[in-house]
Amino acid sequence: MSRAIQIDQHGGPEQLKIVDVQVGEPGPGQIRIRHKAVGLNFIDVYHRTGLYKLDMPARIGMEASGIVEAVGEGVTHLKPGDRAAYASQPPGSYCEVRVMPATTVCKLPDAIDFDTGAAMMLKGLTAQYLLRRTQPQGGLKEGDFVLFHAAAGGVGLIACQFARAMGLKLIGTAGSDAKCELAKENGATHVINYAKEDFLPRVKEITGGKGVKVVYDSVGKDTWDKSLDCLSPFGLMASFGNASGAVPPFAPGILGVKGSIYVTRQTLFTHIATREAAQEMADDLFGMVTSGKVKIHIDQRYPLEQVQQAHRDLEARKTTGCTILTL
């Protein structure tokens, strides 16, 4: 048996309930893993509220770390007793033990503890695919400007450090002076408190009127229009979230008017759809962390029983860095 968080209908944090569930043996291509820590992400809120709809009843959560207890037929990269961490579909990581697909589960280096492993996979792999794989025409070169919204969040703080290691000039936005300072401490070259100033003219000022090569945007509706205007000609608008709400429909013709710019909507799970790709990206992330170039900030810890409060704080923008549920 395992304790797990389940929702019986979409809605607010009060829908998150602890239930006891039976956990069986892994089938072909699956593993059974006993969690040590579980990561909290904004996509969990989307699943809970129904922005991304799930069949009911549903379990949520997309990342965790723990120890592999059993492996199914065909799984060769893991064995019982291995330390492991993952970001994975389907949802269901808010639990003590689960059976799940093995494709994106990676062995966790001994140098990385379980809490860090649980906090870093979804957010770290997201930062990795954005900066390494989601690039504008001609790629990104040392000294290039990029704009990253929500730079003091879990993905943002990792991206700031990643960008610094790549030699990029990251302009980070955040909603308070304290969050801006945190982003700067983690590698942002410039920071903008969007609660105090309009980020568009500030970006233009920082870049000498040229704009940025890429905007990485997980905010959505509230930042969309002005973000397009922050781009240089042939720049890339990379959307990867909807924290403020979904972006409304727009006419493709505006992309030409604004400089023949590109727009893409990215998801992590397209990038880690194969075992080879997932491992390659994880190896890059693990290398960044073990070398000290990227530090994973775990600024909030909640016991599994306080998952409702964890969601309230996440939605209220009260969190910084990464958040984990402890077991």
pLDDT in tens, the chain (327 residues): 899 999 999 999 999 999 999 999 999 999 999 999 999 998 899 899 998 899 999 999 999 999 999 999 999 999 999 999 999 889 999 999 999 999 999 999 999 999 999 999 999 999 999 999 999 999 999 999 999 999 998 899 999 999 999 999 999 999 999 999 999 999 999 999 999 999 999 999 999 999 999 999 998 889 999 999 999 999 999 999 887 788 889 999 999 999 999 999 999 999 999 999 999 999 999 999 999 999 998 989 999 999 999 999 999 888 887 899 999
- Which residue has 């059993």 as its token pair? 70
Closest C-alpha among 66, 93, 71 to residue 27:
71
Task: Give pLDDT, residue 77.
Answer: 96
Task: Give the other-Cβ count within 10 Å of 237's Cβ.
Answer: 23
The conformation of residue 148, written as its DSSP 8-state character, comes to E
Task: Give pLDDT, residue 264.
Answer: 96
Cα angle: 284, vertex 173, 216; to 5 degrees = 45
Q: Are 221 and 244 in contact (CB under 8 A)?
A: yes
140/144 Cα distance (integer angstroms): 6
Task: Give pLDDT, residue 154.
Answer: 86
Task: Give pLDDT, residue 247.
Answer: 87
Task: Give pLDDT, residue 304.
Answer: 96
Closest C-alpha among 97, 158, 99, 191 to residue 299:
158
Closest C-alpha among 238, 66, 29, 54 to residue 146:
238
> Which pair of tokens denotes residue 15?
């829908």
The conformation of residue 108, written as its DSSP 8-state character, comes to P
- Which residue has 């893993």 as its token pair? 33
Non-local (6+) Cβ contacts of 186 within 8 A are: 157, 160, 161, 164, 295, 297
Closest C-alpha among 6, 108, 3 to residue 55:
6
Closest C-alpha among 244, 262, 295 to residue 137:
262
Cα angle: 305, vertex 21, 105; to 5 degrees = 85
Non-local (6+) Cβ contacts of 240 within 8 A are: 126, 130, 216, 217, 218, 265, 266, 267
Q: Are 300 and 323 in contact (CB under 8 A)?
A: yes
Domains of the chain: 2-123+269-326 (3.90.180.10), 135-265 (3.40.50.720)
